[in-house]
Amino acid sequence: IADPRTLPDGDSQRARNECGKLIVTESIGTGMMEDITGNYKQRPMPMARHAKEELVKVKLQHEKSVPLGQPITAACIVLNNQEKPLTAQLTITVTSATYNNRFPRTITTKVHNITMPARGDQTFQVAAQPQDYIKKIYDEGMITIEANLKYSNELAYARSLITIQIPKLNIDVTSIGRNGEVHYNVSMKNPLAIPLTSCELAVELPGSTRFLRPTPAGSVQPYGVFFKSGSMVRTSTYTRELNAAFHCHEMPIMSGHRSL
Residues 183 and 229 in one domain: yes
- 31, part of any domain: no
Spatial separation of the C-alpha atoms in residues 58 and 149, rounded to whole Å: 7
**SS3 per-residue string spanning the chain:** CCCHHHCCHHHHHHHHHCCCCCCEEECCCCCCEEECHHHHHCCCCCCCCCCCCCCEEEEEEECCEEECCCCEEEEEEEEECCCCCEEEEEEEEEEEECCCCCCCEEEEEEEEEEEECCCCEEEEEEEECHHHHHHHCCCCCEEEEEEEEEECCEEEEEEEEEEEECCCCEEEECCCCCCCEEEEEEEEECCCCCCECCCEEEEECECCECCCCCEECCCECCCCEEEEEEEEECCCCCCCEEEEEEECCCCCCEEEEEEC
Residue-level pLDDT at 40: 61
φ/ψ region of 108 (left if φ > 0, alpha if ψ in -120 to 50, else beta) reads: beta
Residues 126 and 200 in one domain: no
Residue 121 to residues 2, 53, 91, 92, 156, Cα–Cα distance (Å): 60, 15, 16, 17, 14
- 200, part of any domain: yes
Residues 175 and 254 in one domain: yes
Residues 150 and 178 in one domain: no
Domain boundary among 118, 133, 165: 165
Count structural domains, the chain: 2
Spatial separation of the C-alpha atoms in residues 76 and 56, rounded to whole Å: 13
- 10, part of any domain: no
Residue-level pLDDT at 15: 47
Residues 186 and 83 in one domain: no
- 126, part of any domain: yes
pLDDT tens digits for 200-249? 999 999 888 776 678 888 899 999 999 999 888 888 888 889 999 999 98
Domain boundary among 135, 165, 195: 165
Residues 249 and 212 in one domain: yes
Domain boundary among 111, 138, 165: 165
Residues 205 and 161 in one domain: no
- 22, part of any domain: no
Residues 73 and 155 in one domain: yes
- 17, part of any domain: no
Taking the model in full, what pTM does it have?
0.68
Residues 188 and 97 in one domain: no
Residues 251 and 155 in one domain: no
- 90, part of any domain: yes
Residues 188 and 137 in one domain: no
Residue-level pLDDT at 207: 85
For residue 218, the enclosing domain spans 170-259
CATH number reported for the structural domain that contains residue 238 in this entry: 2.60.40.10
Tens-digit pLDDT profile for the chain (260 aa)? 445 555 555 444 444 445 555 666 776 666 677 777 666 655 555 555 555 567 899 999 999 999 999 999 999 999 999 999 999 999 999 999 887 777 889 999 999 999 999 999 999 999 999 989 988 988 888 999 999 999 988 999 999 999 999 888 999 998 777 788 889 999 999 999 889 999 999 999 988 877 667 888 889 999 999 999 988 888 888 888 999 999 998 888 888 899 88
- 40, part of any domain: no
